Every structure is written in structure tokens, then in C-alpha cells.
Amino acid sequence: MNVAMLNEQPSLLKSAALLPPRLSLGATMIHHGLAKLKKDGIAQSAGMFEQLGIKPGKPWALATGITELVAGVSSILGIATRLTAVGVIVTQAMAIAKVHGKNGFDMTKGGYEFNVALIAIALGTLMRGPGRVSLHSALERRVKRKELKHFRLLPRQRRGSVLLDALG
């Protein structure tokens, strides 16, 4: 693909540009969520949460693992990304506040460098949404076609679109 072809397809590139951050965030969050949800992972995470003063540890470990897993799947599929981006931001902010903050920025010293990168990707998703290369976009096109087909153009009749827009 040459430069002229890239310049001719700016909307395609803009849409595709959101995919790599979504996929990397999704893969990372799925990995972390599954690690916490394994049988030994729950016990280990619960113990760590208790040591950090987050009690009771087991329910918080489960909630964190589920949040991370759902956020990862959501990010990869590109559905409800704004809602789950908030979950990523909260879990990573807690990780910085309770674990990594005291170690400074450097990840090799147990710092919060990686957490900040995850928060930045999640903030981008929160602000921009999943983009056109997403399940959200496919559902939105279908809902809007259905609304137009039935002449449902009044705001109170656009419930499906409003919900999709809010979830991003």
C-alpha cells in the first residue's frame, strides 16, 4: 500500500487507528482478570487485598477479576467500551494508590508506569468510543436502519440509539 492510497482513505485509517489500542487493552485486561479468577488466583488476590486493607478480600478480588475480564472482552469486541473503560480506570487507579504509587514511576522497580499506560488507553476509549470497526458500530447501524424504516425519528422513540450512544 503506497502513501497515495493511504491518503485517499482517511476515514478507513481513522476507524482502524482505534483498533490496536482497544485490542491491546482488551488482551491485557482479560489476562489480568482470568489470573484473578482462577481458583488459586482468587485466594492469592484476596490475601493481597486483605494485606492492603481492602476487606473482605475475596469479594473485592472477585469483583476486580470480573471487572477486568468484562472490560477486556468489551474492549476487544468494541461494545459498551465507555462503561467498561471506567472500570479499567478505577481498578488501575486503585492499583496505583494501594500498590505501585510508593514505588515511583519506573515499572522495573514496581512502579505505576504500566498502570498509567492502561489508564491512558481507557481514557481514549472513554472519550472517543470504540470507533467504526466495532460491534457497537454494527449494532448502531442496524438500530438506526430499523428506526428509519419505521419512521421513528422522534427523540422518545430512539431509545435503542440513545442506549447505544451512551454505552459507546
Rounded to whole angstroms, the Cα distance separating 127 from 142 reads: 23
Q: What angle do CA 29, 114, 24 make, to 5 degrees?
A: 40
Which helix (H) or strand (E) segment holds residue 82: the answer is helix 81-95
Is the pTM value of this prediction over 0.75? yes
* Residues 93-140: tens digit of each pLDDT: 999 999 999 999 999 999 999 999 999 999 999 999 998 889 988 888
